[in-house]
Amino acid sequence: MFMPLIILVINILYISLLTIRTMFIFKGQRYYASAVSAAEAFVFVLGIGLVIDNLENIINLFAYAAGFALGILVGTKIEDRLALGYVTVKVISKDCDYPLPRYLRRKGYGVTSWIGDGRGGKRLVMEILSSRKDQKDLYTHIVSCDPEAFVISYEPQHFRGGFWVKSLRKYCKKYGKPLDFPFDDHFPDVEEEIPPENQGVNQKEEK
């Protein structure tokens, strides 16, 4: 009676660790992913050993399958709680004169804004960078200021340059907090040396 329950709990733990480890990899957190994978391997060997040793009971197999499904749900819930990484939010508003960009900057968000041409005329376009932990608060600010704004978000893979990265590094260094995102001085696997034919393109011609 206790064996199916033990298998269920072990597999929930294993799949939860697997889900978290996969998300760490996608977010570039290699060291965290390596640490989680060690615990994941231990739990996997323990769980699969119990199942193989008790194959005569079909309930154990159902418990293993149920633990797999529940583990994914638990793993994603844990990742949502951790809220690792950052999100880029693009906002398109019909009101070009509304001071929403200044309001969001005062709240600490990195905002780049410009005027674009839409099907119905001029539009205020904003690109906003925020931590995932502050994502809900950002949506609240946007909706409260412009309920009809078009909002779309996505998670960036790499950061390089910009005042927001510099400010965040200073903040984390000052308060001893870790950076939970891989900021890049150089893009991975990209040669950033300027080709000879492009040298001087962005430089002003000498008079």
Q: What is the pLDDT of residue 129?
A: 82
pLDDT at residue 171 tops 60:
no
75 and 137 part of one domain: no
- Check residues 51 and 165 and name the one with the higher pLDDT: 51
Domain boundary, last residue among 59, 82, 105: 82
Rounded (10°) angle between helices 58-82 and 2-26: 40
Instruction: Estimate to the nearest angstrom the gap between the alpha carbon of 144 and the chain centroid.
Output: 25
Domain count, the chain: 2
How far, CA to CA in Å, does 114 sit from each of 93, 146, 162?
11, 17, 17
Lowest mean pLDDT among 2-11, 154-163, 165-174, 195-204: 195-204
Residue 132 lies in a domain: yes
**Are 132 and 164 in the same domain?**
yes
pLDDT of 72-130, one tens digit each?
A: 999 888 888 877 777 889 999 988 887 888 888 888 788 888 999 888 889 999 998 88
Q: Which is higher by pLDDT, 126 or 196?
A: 126
How large is the angle between the packed helices 58-82 and 30-53, nearest 10 degrees?
160
Q: Is residue 206 part of a domain?
A: no
Residue 9 lies in a domain: yes
Question: Quick one: how far is CA 2 from the chain centroid?
Answer: 38
Domain that holds residue 14: 2-82
Q: What percent of the chain has pLDDT over 90?
A: 13
* Residue 48 belongs to some domain of the structure: yes
* CB atoms inside a 10 Å sphere around CB 91: 25
Q: Let me know whether 34 and 111 are in one domain.
A: no
pLDDT over threshold 70, residue 163: no
| Residue with the larger pLDDT of the pair 13 and 54 | 13
